[in-house]
Amino acid sequence: MNQQLLKGSALIIVALLAVIFQSAFTVHQVEQVLIVQLGKPIRPISEPGLHFKIPFIQEVLSFDRRLLIFDQDPQEVLSSDKKNLKVDNYALWRIVDPLKYFQTVRHEEGANSRLSDIIYSNIREVLGQYTMMEIVAGSRADLVTRIRDQANQQAAQYGIEIADVRIQRTDLPPENSKAVFRRMQTERDRQAKTYRAQGEEEAVKIRSQAAREREVLLANAYKEAQELRGQGDADAARIYADAYRRDPEFYEFKRTLDAYERSFAKETTLLLESNGFFRYLQGLHGENRSNTNRILGGAGRGE
């Protein structure tokens, strides 16, 4: 009898312990829970500590209270100036209403699916109001703030709060990048041709100016040379005239000697009258000798 009482007591104690273990549960400070009774949500619990539920009938669903990361695949958006952009972004979000969260999306995969639609639609709407240069070089903080605020209004119905939205990169699609590169190359080639044409035009002007100045310099130099030559010829003629007036016979003698030098420089036979060109080469007798001495004597005295 005693043994049966002991066994019965032990079974009761085990059952009580099982009931206690099934009814008691703890909530960690980084999580929040939702009590579900027969598949129907009853109440959420967000305070950490020890809590109780009806055993075997109610169950506990746990949700993270910390910030979660939703990293979206790069998506294409269209800017206001009709440029396709590939935007790589991510979002930080948390569960603020476990009951709504369970009733609408139930788990993290469902939440990510909803966040993908919400964030992408708002990115496309907001960025579509700006040009490509404003998106790439403008203030990113203003853009992401607008995207976050608009996305938060839509995510609230799922018990989700979007803490932040960040745009990591904004690139052109590969085909657009190639087209932009080709346009840039064409524009640079056009500018290079323009600069070359302008340089060639300036070179032609400079060469023409230099040629014109060269012709002017040559003309002026030729004019000056001719003036100097004319002045020299005039001075020479004046000097010759003075020499003629002072001693015509000596001048004739000097010119004849110069002619002798030029004539006898080559092997030449001259047939002339002796009293003409060769009169100073005849024998120095009589009148010729006296004339020659007189001429040479006068030249020696500087007459």
Residue-wise pLDDT tens digits, 33-65 = 988 888 788 888 888 888 888 887 888 888 999
| pLDDT at residue 240, rounded to an integer | 76
Please indicate, yes or no, whether residues 59 and 75 belong to a single structural domain of this protein. Answer: no
| pLDDT at residue 213, rounded to an integer | 92
Q: What is the CATH number of the domain that holds 80?
A: 3.30.479.30
Is residue 197 a part of any domain in this protein?
A: no
Per-residue pLDDT band at 296 (split at 50, 70, 90): very low
In angstroms, what CA-CA distances link 115 with 93, 147, 148, 153, 168? 9, 12, 11, 12, 17
Please indicate, yes or no, whether residues 75 and 48 belong to a single structural domain of this protein. Answer: no
Is residue 288 a part of any domain in this protein?
A: yes
Strand partners, 92: 69, 164
Terminal Cα distance for the chain, rounded: 188
Is residue 242 a part of any domain in this protein?
A: no
| pLDDT at residue 283, rounded to an integer | 54
Select from 23, 44, 64 the last residue of a domain: 64
Asked if pLDDT for residue 246 goes beyond 90, the answer is: no
Angle between helices 140-155 and 108-127 (to 10 degrees): 130
User: 231 Cβ partners below 8 Å, 6+ apart?
Assistant: none
| pLDDT at residue 158, rounded to an integer | 94
Is residue 266 a part of any domain in this protein?
A: yes
Please indicate, yes or no, whether residues 58 and 73 belong to a single structural domain of this protein. Answer: no
Please indicate, yes or no, whether residues 109 and 34 belong to a single structural domain of this protein. Answer: no
| pLDDT at residue 259, rounded to an integer | 76
Please indicate, yes or no, whether residues 9 and 46 belong to a single structural domain of this protein. Answer: yes
Is residue 93 a part of any domain in this protein?
A: yes
Please indicate, yes or no, whether residues 76 and 166 belong to a single structural domain of this protein. Answer: yes
Select from 41, 64, 87 the last residue of a domain: 64
Question: Which of 149, 169, 174, 172 is closest to 161 using CA atoms?
Answer: 149
Q: 3-state SS string over the chain?
A: CHHHHHHHHHHHHHHHHHHHHHHEEEECCCEEEEEEECCEEEEEECCCEEEECCCCCEEEEEEECCCEEEECCCEEEECCCCCEEEEEEEEEEEECCHHHHHHHCCCHHHHHHHHHHHHHHHHHHHHCCCCHHHHHHCCHHHHHHHHHHHHHHHHHHHCEEEEEEEEEEEECCHHHHHHHHHHHHHHHHHHHHHHHHHHHHHHHHHHHHHHHHHHHHHHHHHHHHHHHHHHHHHHHHHHHHHHHHHCHHHHHHHHHHHHHHHHCCCCCCCCCCCCCCCCCCCCCCHHHHHHHHHHHHHHHHCC
Is residue 189 a part of any domain in this protein?
A: no
Please indicate, yes or no, whether residues 99 and 121 belong to a single structural domain of this protein. Answer: yes
Arithmetic mean of pLDDT, 5-16: 71
CA distance 131 to 83: 8
Domain range enclosing 103: 68-172
Question: Which of 249, 231, 232, 257 is closest to 297 using CA atoms?
Answer: 249
Question: Which of 111, 109, 27, 22 is closest to 61 using CA atoms?
Answer: 27
| pLDDT at residue 298, rounded to an integer | 45
Please indicate, yes or no, whether residues 152 and 167 belong to a single structural domain of this protein. Answer: yes
Arithmetic mean of pLDDT, 216-232: 91
Select from 142, 172, 202 the last residue of a domain: 172
Is residue 230 a part of any domain in this protein?
A: no
What's the sign of the alpha-carbon dihedral 31, 33, 39, 40?
A: negative
Please indicate, yes or no, whether residues 80 and 53 belong to a single structural domain of this protein. Answer: no
Is residue 223 a part of any domain in this protein?
A: no
Please indicate, yes or no, whether residues 74 and 166 belong to a single structural domain of this protein. Answer: yes
Please indicate, yes or no, whether residues 94 and 52 belong to a single structural domain of this protein. Answer: no
Number of domains in the chain: 3
Q: Is the pTM of the predicted complex or chain greater than 0.85? A: no
Please indicate, yes or no, whether residues 149 and 109 belong to a single structural domain of this protein. Answer: yes
